[in-house]
Structure 1
Amino acid sequence: MFETKTICKGVNVYVNKTTQFKTINFSIRFKDRLTEENASVRAILANVLQHSNEKYPSHTALRMVLDDLYGTSLYIDTTKRGDDHIISLNVETVNDQYLSEEGVLEKVLNLMYLMLFKPNFENGLFKESIFKREQESIIQRIESVFDDKTRYAQQRLMDIALPGHPAAITSNGSIDKVKAVTNEALVEAYRNMLENNEVDIYVVGDVSPEHITSHIRDYFHFADRKHLPEKQQSELRTPSESRVLEFENMKQGKLHMLFFTPVTFRDKEFPIMQLMNGIFGGYAHSKLFANIREKESMAYYVSSSYASQFGLMFVLAGIDSKLEEKAVSLILEQLDEMKQGHITDVELDQTKALLSNQLKEALDSARGQIDIYDQYKELSESFEPELLIERWKKVTKQQIAQEAQKVSLQMTYFLSGKEAETDE
């Protein structure tokens, strides 16, 4: 799927030479340990680097350049996966061979170089007005979660159940830690990103792997990483509380349930757990949707999700505040059905088909190809999507039941409306 080229220790280029697209897509990903402090400072850093550099000090100036480069798309964002915090520079530009003008690729690479290596410094620090503006922007982004009560409830569940664990840390960090970031700390984080982070550079397009790797060597002067963090998996600890009830001024109750499973992304049973989650609550034909929303008509929405990096499963449901106990009971009944192997051929076949179709649809975009390979190359650098589809096809109902038996409820969090508080 991708051909690997090593530039130096800790810096690799992955190229998928394909005629599938008339564009060239790049993604340069800087990986560091996920901590609340790291996430907070790096969230600001991503914003600062995106909106200002030495040559183009304003977002308007940068936008004009991108327009001149045939509408090249460029953005920097942050995300997390497992114990890693990731800053990504993502670019999509037209392939030179489809233009009468030559040299567009070199101009785009030079712009990427400016974004990363020529920041808008003033006396050795980031320009203060830009630093303060982007710091406030991240604070507002974190605060906006409160307005989306489903996201807010999920974050409260994680904060209470797994405090300090990477699963509970957001890619933007926390308000307190963001406020504590100084300009000096931001510069230090920037230097650390360029000098010490593991770097994965993805390229998708009709380009020669040798040719594009040579260009990347010329434009991005990466050196050997001297302090690559060791890969390690954070341990899960049983939450100190099994049920938490909180209140907000809202009408719809938010029920969030946390389950543990010993199966993670790296285990051979991972494809079985993907199917188990799909049948349980991952799709519109799932047991949760069919029985709790459709049959019982007691949920505005209900679904399950599987966080495979940590071995976590979640159930989310929007219900009336007085139906918590009944909803929990019904959800656990459906899980028990899974444990007993009460799975229909239709449920199994539809889930296999939907998982396969989702994977194929993701591969229709260059960004999807990059995201999938970036994850699955941890298992094997020779990963091919067809291998995963074949593994799904072979999974049996009995195997799914065996994995369902390993799933255990750890905590229930219910965010209820203020009206219900008076009834307590």
Structure 2
Amino acid sequence: MFQQFKLAQGVKLYVRPTEQFKTISISFKWKQQITEQNAAIRSVLANILQYSNNVYTSNAEFRKRLDDLYGAVLYFDTTKKGNYHILSLNAETVNDAYLSNEKVVDEVFSLLSTVIFEPLMKNGKFVDSIVKREKEQVIERIQSMYDDKTRYAQQRLLENIRPNHPASISANGTVSTVQQITNEQLVEMYNTILSSDELSIYVVGDVNVEAIKEKMDKHFRFSSRTPVQEPSTVDIKQASHEKDFLHEIQDMKQGKLHIAYHTPINFYSEDFPIMQMTNGIFGGFAHSKIFMNVREKESMAYYASSSYSSLYGLVFVFAGIDANLQEKAVLLIDEQLKVMQAGDISDLEINQTRSMLINQLKEALDSARAQIEIYDQYKELNEAFTVEEWIEKWSKVSKEQIQQMASKIEKEFVYFLSGKEGADNE
């Protein structure tokens, strides 16, 4: 899917020449172990690098330069992947092939180089007023979670089942960690990114591979660094919790029911495709047992589904319910897993789930950005990743394998967020 080139130790270039898109998408991804503190520092740093550099010192100047390049898009982003924090620099530009005489792509590569290697600094430090402004922006982003009750409920669930663990660490850190960030820490992190973070660079579009390699050599010089070693196992379950149910109350109407299950199967497991199929039948799609029985048949939930967090070996169920239905809903959701463990799995459910997984993957690949994200994940398993390979894996999954997989899933914790009416704390 992508052609791979080693630019330096720990620095790889992945190029996908394709006529599928009229634009060229570029992504730099710096990776390091996640902690609450470095997540906060890297999120603020991403904002600082995005909005100011030594050539275009203000956001207005920078935006104008992008407009001059036929509306090129350039932005930073932070996220996490398993135990790692990912700081990304993404760009999208028109392809020179669709312009009469101008050469924009090289200018965009030059701009990317400026953003990476020439941040706006004075006396070896970032500008204090910019640091203050971007810290406030990240704090606002973190606080916005409290207004989204579904995100808030999921975060509270994670904090209870995996405290001080990558699963519960936000890619933006916490308000307190952001507040404590110093200019010196930001400079240190910037230098670490340039010299130590494992770096993957992606280019997707109707491009000449050799020309892209030449542009990389012309505009970028990255030093060698030690590649990150990906884990092949996952913690099955942490130490037993003091309790396995928590009900919290806020001023709200619809209750948010979030249930965590653990499984010994993770992204790196040989049985990962079986677990994908199992989750799909359990609650992953509109034909799933949870959706059909909890929402459609019993009309017990406004929404109901499950998701498989493969990098942590966790399955989550989400349901929006009336507060007085919490106990009934949990019992009914539990029942869906039990019937799967008993072998109540139809050929129709298997075929529908397989089709949905295939369509989901194919539809995602309609976007250049999604191609980069999917390959960035799946290349950890096999750098020769193809859609056909995964279709074959899913096609081999049997009813018996799904039943056995369902038997390995165990409920770990129930979190319920509601208004004043509803179940009492336990």
Using a 3 Å threshold, how does the CA distance of structure 1 residues 67 and 239 change in structure 2: closer, same or farther? farther
Matches within 5 A, 1:18-417: 18-225=18-225, 227-232=226-231, 235=235, 236-240=237-241, 241-417=243-419
- Name stretches of at least 5 consecutive residues in structure 1 with no aligned partner: none
Partner of 1:134, secondary structure, is helix
Shift of 1:421: 7.4
Q: How high is the TM-score relative to the length of structure 1?
A: 0.97
Separation of aligned partners in 1, 2:295 and 2:170: 30
Shift of 1:234: 5.9
Contact 2:324 2:423 in 1 (8 A): no
Separation of aligned partners in 1, 2:425 and 2:41: 43
Contact 2:323 2:423 in 1 (8 A): no
Shift of 1:58: 1.7
Equivalent residue letter for 2:349: E
Deviations 1:188-222 (A, max 9, x none): 01110111000000001122222211211221110
Contact 1:247 1:415 in 2 (8 A): yes
Partner of 2:90, secondary structure, is strand
Using a 3 Å threshold, how does the CA distance of structure 1 residues 423 and 179 change in structure 2: closer, same or farther? closer
Contact 2:326 2:422 in 1 (8 A): no
Equivalent residue letter for 1:194: L
Q: Any runs of at least 4 consecutive aligned residues in structure 1 with deviations exceeding 6 A, and if so which?
A: 421-424
Partner of 1:25, secondary structure, is strand
Tell me which moved more, 272-281 or 237-246.
237-246
Separation of aligned partners in 1, 2:31 and 2:350: 37
Give the % identical residues.
Answer: 53
Separation of aligned partners in 2, 1:4 and 1:229: 17
Deviations 1:297-335 (A, max 9, x none): 111111100000111000011111111111110000000
Separation of aligned partners in 2, 1:28 and 1:278: 32
Partner of 1:419, secondary structure, is coil
Deviations 1:248-290 (A, max 9, x none): 1111111110100000111111111111111111111111111
Contact 2:247 2:425 in 1 (8 A): no
Equivalent residue letter for 1:91: A
Using a 3 Å threshold, how does the CA distance of structure 1 residues 230 and 355 change in structure 2: closer, same or farther? closer
Equivalent residue letter for 1:231: E
Separation of aligned partners in 2, 1:274 and 1:229: 26
Separation of aligned partners in 2, 1:208 and 1:194: 27
Contact 1:83 1:234 in 2 (8 A): no
**Count of residues in correspondence between the two structures:** 423
- Name stretches of at least 5 consecutive residues in structure 2 with no aligned partner: none
Separation of aligned partners in 1, 2:127 and 2:234: 37
The RMSD of aligned alpha carbons is 1.5
Partner of 2:79, secondary structure, is strand
Using a 3 Å threshold, how does the CA distance of structure 1 residues 292 and 389 change in structure 2: closer, same or farther? same
Contact 1:238 1:410 in 2 (8 A): no
Partner of 2:207, secondary structure, is coil
Deviations 1:66-100 (A, max 9, x none): 11111111110001111110011111101112211
Q: How high is the TM-score relative to the length of structure 2?
A: 0.97
